[in-house]
Structure 1
Amino acid sequence: MSTYRFDRLLAPRAVAFVGAGSREGSVGRSVLSNLMRAGYPGRILPVHPTEGEIEGLPAAPSLSALPAVPDLVVIAVPPAHVPDVVEEAGRIGAAAAIILSAGLGTGPEDPGPRARRAARHHGLRLIGPNSAGLCVPGRKLDASLFAHAPSAGDLALISQSGTVAAAIAEWASRREVGFSAVMALGSAMDVDASDCLDHFAADIRTRAILLCLDRVEDARRFMSAARAAARAKPVVVLRAGRRRPDAPAASDSAVTHTGALARPDAVYAAAFRRAGLLAVQDLDEMFAAIETLGRQRPFPGKRLSILTNGLGIGLLAADRLADRDGILARNPQGNPVNLGMDAGGPAFAQALEPLLTDEESDAVLAIHVPTIRSDARAVATAIAETVTQARKGQSRKKPVFAVSLGEAETVRETFAGAGIPQFSTDTEAIEGFLHLVRYREAQDDLMRTPDSLPRDFSPDTERARRIVGDALRQGASWLDPIAVGELLEAYCIPAVPLILAPDIDAAAAAAWPLIAGGQAVALKVVSPDIVHKSDIGGVHLDLTSEADVREAARSILARARRERPDARVTGFAVQPMVRRGRRRELIAGLAEDPVFGPVVVFGRGGTAVEVIDDRALGLPPLDLILARDLIARTRVARRLDAYRDVPAADLAAIALTLVKIAQLSADLPQVRELDINPLLADETGVLALDARVRIGRVPQSRYGERDRRGGGHPGFAIRPYPVEWVRVLNLKDRTVRVRPVRPEDEELFRVFFENLDPESLRLRFFGPVRAFSHAFLARLTQLDYARAIAFVAVEIGPDGRERMLGAVRLHADANNDSGEYAIGVGQDARGTGLAFALMRLMIDWARSEGIGRVEGTVLSENRPMLAVCRRLGFTQKRDPDDPGVMKVRLDLSEAREAQSRS
């Protein structure tokens, strides 16, 4: 249901309490006391079956007996009574309820699911059960169990855990850090983190979002909401329970190396990174992030200047910066800048001034160690005044971070007043600085929107589907080695050829031509029940005679019968020996996570791959940039460079292999695990030496919410670039290509808008537009295809470059009920039918997504656009608040008939 009724949930005109009796210390009474203490200006309506007055307020015996309908109902009653209260709240017209009660169960007839069904029936939004409540400080709404009411500010805190939310709120209350809202979701039976991300991403009172969770239920919805929020503002995420032993894990059922390497904590980290979220590991890091975000906006660059009154502490900070991949700025006066132990306020001010204008650094860290000759308050005042003065009239205000060891309350207040993040230690300060650096870097990943199919790669998908389909029809759960080789060949992944031999004699016969040609051979056991062949001595190398092959085959069979008597041995694989030489042993493949679906795994390969545990994970789809980033996040990446007389490995070939694997996953959801180990790499390219592929049918319901709408692999948590929506349109006087917009189209849009006449810009944007900033254009070109689409019409000029003729976009609301469109067409394409064609394509996309209606706003004087809308069946109604504007609306159930008539 997403943000439905959030307006009344977060800004209720009246709040009712059910279960807030007169007993001191009860949950309901505690929350009621907090609400009254916060000075809530709306009506407070206690409900109790026997008490006529609570906290001096008249109490009603039931919700139905209240003198007014509450927007928000706080429920603190025994679990068995919760469904009845929820039903009554929905029946009287309440918008939302907070369930503080715990232990509602998850069985179909338990109180929890019964309450959820009742709420859904009436459109009532639920927070909880087991919630610690809700705070909106700016509206003096504190319906929570927190010890102290959070102060007003511009950070939104969303937490599944009530205690984590309470800890952060308590810490912030002592640091003068405020919140636009704090929501403790508890079990998140209805309102969840995705809903909250959608709301606060669009909330003008929220500058950054703090997210604390332990689980994600619907990966596609979460990733869509998270990516949309991170595009709008910084989102910091802390995940609890990363090492919980009872957490479900893909590796519990995984049998390949790649499956075992895809542990849940690593998959979550990969998902957060791809969503553009800033992940922190513990509350200390979260507090550092809050201190930073509460006072400093993100900035480009990661070169840091360090100013200190002690060289030792400055060097410690520099070491920490280097350890965390930050960059120490190159200052003419050296870095760190050491003022000496006696340095006071004037010395800090004098040294700080040139650092604030120095173009060789991106930020400054000022560290002060109080001494008997250097007063902390005086230094803090000098730093604050210098920064404040320097920022006057500056277009780019260089960030400044401060450390005051042995801090005092007045020091914190001084720095806070100047908007300077202040930390207790150099380590905390470096982490705070790097939080914003990582946020900026995460935006690069966030704007990547790989194709459904890489543009320079054409696999034989029909052959691949036939291979997997034939194996499934035969009841196989593993592809045999021949089928694995054919599958890799279909995706242009080089592999060592092999011959499948059913018995010892056939293995010797298959090996003979290779041996006669002077090659040694490798012999491997083939069994659907033995995944790791080396564990049972199922691999023999460097065989140079038929006798060697026969002896190796007998040895393999004997040990297999001894150690795995239940295993079915179907034969042997015979391969020419491949000398490793200077090749690096890598691992690449696919694993299946129970939450986020398919995951691409890359790292150092070999038999000890799980012990070495050098791997990085990425969510498909991938492009070459994302694949290179995946490689760079491993330790083995350093061994891919040239060293001594060993040439560098072909990094492009490795990255392309990862893209191919991701595409294989997109095309073949039935491939549940793929393990190429080792994947040999050198300067000539890559070679798959051994591979395993586990397959299985994918039930339609396997991915729940994710396969209800939209295209692509139903298990992908990220919607790929919808290449299937590329079209060629034949207009009256020309043929144009229409395709979904990509992030790299920013320059295309800038040129298009700059060439539009002022009147066209006014009709498109309802007012004059004088500049097209990067932020403005990024909003038009960086899309989450799970909730928005934009089609751009282009023609190819004489120079081979695309020229934009027009574009249409549709952005669905968070509930996917409706979408708002906008369209613009250049002067030389008017009257060609382009606007009509673009609108029809946009409507087709909306229908495919299950969007119920398309809406738009058109100036009354824009008659051509209104005529197009009439032809497509849009209703038109004058805006009662602005007679110069027409509201147009198309019910998509009627759109098909209107289009057929046209």
Structure 2
Amino acid sequence: MGPHYLNHLFDPKSIAVLGASEREHSRGSIIFRNLLACGFKGKLYPVNPNHSTVQNHRAYKSINDIQQPVDLAIIISPAATVPDIIRQCGVEGVNAAIILSDGLGETAAGNTGAKLQAEMMKYAHQYGVRILGPNCLGLMLPKKGLNATFTQQMANPGHMALVSQSGALCTAAIDWARAEGLGYSAVISLGDVADIGFGEILDYLAMDPSTHSILLYIEAIRDARSFISGLRIAARIKPVVVVKAGRFQQGLQTAIHHTGAVIGSDDVFHAALRRAGAVRAYTIQQMVNAAEILSRRHYHVKGDQLAIITNGRGPAIMACDRAVELEVPLFELEQTDLDQLNPHLLANWSHANPLDLLGDATAEHYQVALNHCLQAGKVAGVLVLLSPQTMTDATAVARLVIETSQNSPKPVIACWMGSAQVAEANRLFRQHNLPHFDTPEFCVGAFALLTSYQRNQQLLMQVPGPFTQHRNPDIAGARLIVEEALASGRQHLSSLESRAVVRAFHLPLAPAIYASNANDALIAAETLGFPLAMKINAPDIQHRSDVGGVRLNISSAATVRHNFHEMLATVREQYPDAEIQGVTLEPMYRRAHGRELMIGVVRDPVFGPAISIGAGGVIAEVMQDPFTSLPPLNQFLAQHMISRTRVNKLLRAFRGMPAIDFNALEEVLLRVSELVCEIPEIRKIDINPLIADDQGALVVDVKIQVDAQPATTRPYAHMAVHPYPAALESNAELADGTTLLIRPIRPEDASLEQDFIRRLSPQSIYFRFMQTLNKLTPEMLMRFTQIDYDLEMAFVAMVIHQQQETVVGVARYMTNPDGTSCEFALVVADDWHHKGIGSRLMLELIKVARQRGLTEMEGEILTENQGMLALMKKLGFTIRIQPDDLQLRRAVLRLTQS
């Protein structure tokens, strides 16, 4: 597979500036001057029809007049001229454009901006021009001397990439980083995102060797699938830190006005970040601090307990307060710890965590304490605090901390408080890449981000399929119920319909009987036994208790008829036009050890369905502790959800009550996940209460809302995270009787993939990658095995011998930026050639591409690779000569019938 499709944007060899100007302080003047001043090594072409020269460079009347290849166009012209400029760029073969002009898009005044942008994008799609902007600050690549922005301050070169929807934040972050001695590999202002968005930029930065960490400032997401795909790809390879603006209502309104995009729930957005392996910060300084600490060293944080070492009580108290705020648990010293530490520390040290070594602490005291904490199994990280005092040599302690930390995988974070007396220590920390911050609060915050990052990376590695149980749900039956409700013009399922849908997915339901009249209600009551709950059965009424539609603790047959008639009269008085079908009778579910929970589903306007769990019943509104996650779920994700709620502590054994059956609760979450995966029409589910105890879990009440969804060829298009496509797994038998397992690739296949590449001959490696390669880099390995099953597909062919899996072939495709075609690659192990493996893999790949609605599959093949060319011809591909490179052939297959 060739260079990245954004290569012309990020590595241009020639740039045309349309709107370059001599006029002082104009954007066109500043942009062209920045390109000249910052040392861009490529060719520059100013375009201005009113000037023969611009800043001592020959000016061109239009892009057509340049008559030389142009990789990137920077456009600063009036909005009305932009569509035709994009058309001219397309005709001249320009592949990328940065549009700084405003007045285009939905945020522009009136309808003119939207029409201009639509026309602009029509030409962009027609000619394959990728656009950054409009209304953006531009692009800055410090190491390449490229400052294509109208800010005159060039960022320092570094290894952080900043991607922002706010140009103002870009300039502030550049200025702040310069003051802190930090730098950037790239600064990208997205502007109004007519074309290139976060997803595409993240996809490029993931494999950019100059970028070690990525910072995102986000106001709104337009394409959730692209964003999540790019974020997951990037976060697998390098740390991604996100600041999301508009967490509260007033900020949301400003973000909507600025971007014109749909804004979703902040809780769901946070859940999306966790699932994608990114971490969230809440200020610019937190964002940069997080990127710095995450990219300094590849820490393996196990657990979340923090040890604090100090020579002063005040800083330690500040650190403890911040730890409580961030729910960072502190390591508790046991007697064995004290027995080991006491002989080597001052007599009056704190004998607890924080380890206060007192103001007389020496470098040796610090070393003893640090060594002990790093060796303690429960300690996940150590914060070392120092305030300059007479007996403590700040520089000597710093040297020991640096030396000791280099031999441990656990993070050590330093805070040397002060200025002049600790300047040398801080210089040493910078020199040896040891994380250090000015205040104890920043240090604890940095550690919390580290633990959050490691936790989210575990979530990222989870790739569940849509189903997790052996007995299959009745999807067809549930879908018929939903379709019938929609056909009758209803979005709220009746109680009977809601219960039937969740029962189709095997959720445990409390028994219930429906009665249309008082006599049937009496028979149902005697059947179920007392005490009972009676609830109105009326599809138009959702909040039944608010209108007197719920009666609890009905304890005798004598009161059943009375409650029936009284309830119906009360409800009809308030809702005379409501369709009342009768009542539902359910046994009062009372167990001594039962806890009431709530499980909910909402469809977020950006990220689709999201599942939450928290306290239920009467305490739900008081605790307000639901924890949200995106489906699909597996057991690990379900356990994580439960553990992160506040009510989790009440679910465990306490005050004589046994712990609930956690397996049963996890099963309920998994069944709900299956339901929302398979029924895209689900808009909202409210399971409240769900009673959980040591005997199991039971759904007592459930409400479901639905709405129609557009038809699509993309499976699971309603979800932000595509499930693992387990349905595509198959077995095949070769002519010699060997059984092959062909399945989509999984993240845990990384070692198998590496072993497969090692076993390939140099010729096979060259044919596949068009370069020599001994093994896949960690970045390539993650990129190849942790894929977005919506935008790409990779099949592995495996043989299994004595329960040992061996990869013998891999075929993959990646969807091109046009969204309609894809590029394929295929390689088969040398000792498995001529057995039909390549054909079987390609046929599976072609079938999936067709099912996904792609129209064309293409790939580059070396001319000398005659075996591959012959296989492609056999499969129906057309082989085309590459005029610009006779060593290559392009194989093309139309996937749709003409």
Q: TM-score range by the shorter chain?
A: 0.7 to 0.9
Tell me by how many angstroms 1:306 deviates: 3.6
1:442–1:329 CA distance, 2 compared to 1 (3 A): farther
The yes-or-no answer on 1:583 pairing with 2:594 is yes
1:727–1:5 CA distance, 2 compared to 1 (3 A): closer
Partner of 1:545: 556
Task: Give the whole-Å Cα distance in 2 for the aligned partners of 1:771 and 1:304.
Answer: 38
Tell me by how many angstroms 1:327 deviates: 5.4
Partner of 1:845: 848
The yes-or-no answer on 1:370 pairing with 2:382 is no
Task: Give the whole-Å Cα distance in 1 for the aligned partners of 2:397 and 2:501.
Answer: 64
Task: Give the whole-Å Cα distance in 2 for the aligned partners of 1:634 and 1:268.
Answer: 17
User: Which segment is superposed worse, 327-336 or 273-282?
Assistant: 327-336
Tell me by how many angstroms 1:717 deviates: 1.1
1:805–1:604 CA distance, 2 compared to 1 (3 A): same
- Give the length in aligned residue pairs: 860
Tell me by how many angstroms 1:91 deviates: 4.3
Any conservation in 1 of the 2:4–2:204 contact (CA below 8 Å)?
Answer: no
Task: Give the whole-Å Cα distance in 2 for the aligned partners of 1:202 and 1:876.
Answer: 30
User: Which segment is superposed worse, 862-871 or 737-746?
Assistant: 862-871
Task: Give the whole-Å Cα distance in 2 for the aligned partners of 1:299 and 1:139.
Answer: 33
Instruction: Specify the code of the residue in structure 2 equivalent to 1:651.
Output: F
- Report 1:107-506 matches (<5 A): 107=111, 110-146=115-151, 148-245=153-250, 247=252, 264-293=265-294, 295-301=296-302, 302=304, 304-318=306-320, 320-321=322-323, 323-325=326-328, 328=331, 332-333=340-341, 335-341=353-359, 354=371, 358=375, 360=377, 363-371=381-389, 379=394, 381-382=395-396, 385-386=399-400, 399-407=411-419, 412-506=426-520
- Report 1:663-678 matches (<5 A): 663-678=674-689
1:382–1:766 CA distance, 2 compared to 1 (3 A): farther
The yes-or-no answer on 1:685 pairing with 2:696 is yes
Tell me by how many angstroms 1:38 deviates: 2.3
Task: Give the whole-Å Cα distance in 1 for the aligned partners of 2:789 and 2:606.
Answer: 20
Instruction: Specify the code of the residue in structure 1 equivalent to 2:434.
Output: I
Any conservation in 1 of the 2:309–2:366 contact (CA below 8 Å)?
Answer: no
Q: Alignment partner of 1:492: what SS?
A: coil
1:104–1:338 CA distance, 2 compared to 1 (3 A): same
Any conservation in 2 of the 1:873–1:890 contact (CA below 8 Å)?
Answer: no
1:369–1:562 CA distance, 2 compared to 1 (3 A): farther
User: Which segment is superposed worse, 179-188 or 421-430?
Assistant: 421-430
Counterpart of 2:670 (choices 659, 675, 678) is 659
User: Which segment is superposed worse, 351-360 or 398-407?
Assistant: 351-360
The superposition leaves residues 122-147 of structure 1 with CA deviations (integer Å, 9 ceiling, x where unpaired) of 33322222212211000111122446
Task: Give the whole-Å Cα distance in 1 for the aligned partners of 2:763 and 2:70.
Answer: 48
Instruction: Specify the code of the residue in structure 2 equivalent to 1:186.
Output: G
Task: Give the whole-Å Cα distance in 2 for the aligned partners of 1:522 and 1:186.
Answer: 56
Task: Give the whole-Å Cα distance in 1 for the aligned partners of 2:243 and 2:755.
Answer: 41
Q: Alignment partner of 2:741: what SS?
A: strand
What RMSD in Å do the two structures reach over aligned CA positions?
A: 3.9
Any conservation in 2 of the 1:467–1:483 contact (CA below 8 Å)?
Answer: yes
Task: Give the whole-Å Cα distance in 2 for the aligned partners of 1:756 and 1:14.
Answer: 39
Instruction: Specify the code of the residue in structure 2 equivalent to 1:741.
Output: I
Tell me by how many angstroms 1:671 deviates: 2.4
Task: Give the whole-Å Cα distance in 1 for the aligned partners of 2:19 and 2:669.
Answer: 57
Any conservation in 2 of the 1:793–1:806 contact (CA below 8 Å)?
Answer: yes
Any conservation in 1 of the 2:296–2:435 contact (CA below 8 Å)?
Answer: yes
Task: Give the whole-Å Cα distance in 2 for the aligned partners of 1:468 and 1:805.
Answer: 43
Q: Alignment partner of 1:195: what SS?
A: helix
Any conservation in 2 of the 1:628–1:655 contact (CA below 8 Å)?
Answer: yes
Task: Give the whole-Å Cα distance in 2 for the aligned partners of 1:205 and 1:176.
Answer: 17
Tell me by how many angstroms 1:501 deviates: 2.2
Q: Alignment partner of 1:672: what SS?
A: strand
The superposition leaves residues 761-780 of structure 1 with CA deviations (integer Å, 9 ceiling, x where unpaired) of 99988999988998886555
Tell me by how many angstroms 1:389 deviates: 5.6
Instruction: Specify the code of the residue in structure 1 equivalent to 2:278.
Output: L
- Report 1:48-127 matches (<5 A): 48-50=48-50, 54-57=54-57, 59-65=59-65, 70-106=70-106, 107=111, 110-127=115-132
Q: Alignment partner of 1:422: what SS?
A: coil
Task: Give the whole-Å Cα distance in 1 for the aligned partners of 2:527 and 2:80.
Answer: 77
Task: Give the whole-Å Cα distance in 2 for the aligned partners of 1:636 and 1:604.
Answer: 6
Instruction: Specify the code of the residue in structure 1 equivalent to 2:76.
Output: A
1:363–1:851 CA distance, 2 compared to 1 (3 A): farther
Partner of 2:823: 819
Instruction: Specify the code of the residue in structure 1 equivalent to 2:175.
Output: E
The yes-or-no answer on 1:855 pairing with 2:873 is no
* Structure 2 unaligned regions, length at least 5: 255-262, 342-350
Task: Give the whole-Å Cα distance in 1 for the aligned partners of 2:91 and 2:792.
Answer: 35
1:348–1:868 CA distance, 2 compared to 1 (3 A): farther
Any conservation in 1 of the 2:86–2:123 contact (CA below 8 Å)?
Answer: yes
User: Which segment is superposed worse, 767-776 or 568-577?
Assistant: 767-776
Partner of 1:650: 661
1:154–1:775 CA distance, 2 compared to 1 (3 A): closer
1:879–1:104 CA distance, 2 compared to 1 (3 A): closer
Task: Give the whole-Å Cα distance in 1 for the aligned partners of 2:125 and 2:842.
Answer: 34
Tell me by how many angstroms 1:5 deviates: 5.2
Task: Give the whole-Å Cα distance in 1 for the aligned partners of 2:472 and 2:689.
Answer: 25
1:513–1:11 CA distance, 2 compared to 1 (3 A): closer
Instruction: Specify the code of the residue in structure 1 equivalent to 2:414.
Output: A
Any conservation in 2 of the 1:522–1:540 contact (CA below 8 Å)?
Answer: yes
Any conservation in 1 of the 2:878–2:893 contact (CA below 8 Å)?
Answer: no
1:755–1:132 CA distance, 2 compared to 1 (3 A): closer
The superposition leaves residues 49-89 of structure 1 with CA deviations (integer Å, 9 ceiling, x where unpaired) of 54555545554554445586654333334434443444444
Normalising by structure 1, we get a TM-score of 0.85
Task: Give the whole-Å Cα distance in 1 for the aligned partners of 2:445 and 2:537.
Answer: 51
Any conservation in 1 of the 2:684–2:706 contact (CA below 8 Å)?
Answer: yes
Any conservation in 2 of the 1:296–1:421 contact (CA below 8 Å)?
Answer: no
Task: Give the whole-Å Cα distance in 1 for the aligned partners of 2:373 and 2:415.
Answer: 17
The yes-or-no answer on 1:738 pairing with 2:749 is no
The superposition leaves residues 532-587 of structure 1 with CA deviations (integer Å, 9 ceiling, x where unpaired) of 21122211011133442233233323432444455433321122222243211111
User: Which segment is superposed worse, 740-749 or 425-434?
Assistant: 740-749
Any conservation in 2 of the 1:620–1:718 contact (CA below 8 Å)?
Answer: yes
Partner of 1:511: 525
The yes-or-no answer on 1:718 pairing with 2:718 is no
Q: Alignment partner of 1:686: what SS?
A: strand
User: Which segment is superposed worse, 335-344 or 529-538?
Assistant: 335-344
Any conservation in 1 of the 2:880–2:891 contact (CA below 8 Å)?
Answer: no
Task: Give the whole-Å Cα distance in 1 for the aligned partners of 2:897 and 2:703.
Answer: 47
1:356–1:471 CA distance, 2 compared to 1 (3 A): closer
Any conservation in 1 of the 2:809–2:837 contact (CA below 8 Å)?
Answer: no
